[in-house]
Amino acid sequence: MKPQALILDFGGVITRTLFESHALTEANLGLAPGTLTWRGPFDPAGDALWRDMQADRISERDYWLARTREVGLLVGEEWDRMESFVRRARGADLEGMIRPEAVAAIEAVKAAGVPLALLSNELDLFYGADLRDRLALLQRFDVIVDATHTHILKPDARAYQVCLDALGLPAEACVFVDDQLRNVEGARHVGLHALQFDVKAPARSFDAALAALGLAPLTQR
């Protein structure tokens, strides 16, 4: 069956990662340039906690909660919610955290009449419950499934099924994109056409998703 819908993860796929915006975070928090040295997928050798997460010794939530507490201490505060970190790190510029390639791909998908869904493990948990009102891009999605509320985290098969049920489509009719390999493998296990998003090559990653849907790449638009 030819894919008929696109399901995207949010953090890392639609947004730039916090690793990519260390300079902005440091400026917003009043930290000296170069204070934040952990870079996750951009320097796995220099980020032992990231390696633990990739090896499934800790969860992604565990990773970010540890970083949240660590950065909070740097500014003399106790943070125990990821939202505290994200709001302070990103500042008021919500649009600035969105990948331009994501905007272009989403617009291409919508123009083609392809259903679009968002499947996140921590949308409201990380970004706040009012994000959908503050970020206009989220209005472009036909379906939003957030484990903050379902309490079913990818790669649990049920997480994907909740999204598929909301779309009213079988797994084989959907392309799924996520930057975490464990979530991609979980999606493949339930029959989704799943692609791993490379945060170091966002345009190429979105082109692969568009190609799977039979749509032209971003470079031809």
Number of helices and strands in the chain (H, E) = 11, 5
pLDDT of 96 over the 90 cut = no
pLDDT tens, position by position, 155-203: 999 999 999 999 999 999 999 999 999 999 999 999 999 999 999 999 9
Residue with tokens 């056409």: 193
Side chain identity at residue 213, one-letter code = L
Nearest Cα neighbor of 132 from 60, 141, 67, 59 is 141
The yes-or-no verdict on residue 129 having pLDDT over 90 is: no
Task: Give the whole-number percent of the chain exceeding pLDDT 70.
Answer: 100
| pLDDT, tens only, 194-211 | 999 999 999 999 999 999
What pLDDT does residue 79 have? 95
**Edge-first strand listing for the sheet containing 116-120:** 143-146, 116-120, 5-8, 174-178, 193-196
Distance CA 175, CA 48 (A): 32
Q: Which of 181, 177, 125 lies closest to 155, judged by CA?
A: 181
Chain centroid offset of residue 128 CA: 15
Is the model's pLDDT at 94 over the cut of 90?
A: no
Domains assigned to the chain: 5-16+98-220 (3.40.50.1000), 18-90 (no CATH)
Q: What pLDDT does 10 receive?
A: 97
What residues contact residue 213 under an 8 Å CB cut-off, 6+ apart?
Answer: 3, 4, 6, 109, 112, 114, 175
Q: Residue 92 above 90 pLDDT? A: no
CA–CA gap between residue 121 and residue 50 (Å, rounded)? 17
Which DSSP string do the residues of 48-82 spell out, in sequence order? HHHHHHHTTSS-HHHHHHHHHHHHHHHTT----SH
Q: Is 91 helix (H, G, I), strand (E, B) or coil?
A: coil
Rounded to a whole number of angstroms, the CA Rg of the chain reads 17
For 115-220, where are the E strands, in sequence order?
116-120, 143-146, 174-178, 193-196
| Residue spans of beta strands (DSSP E) within the chain | 5-8, 116-120, 143-146, 174-178, 193-196
Provide the whole-model pTM. Answer: 0.93
**61-74 average pLDDT score:** 96
Q: Average pLDDT of the chain?
A: 95
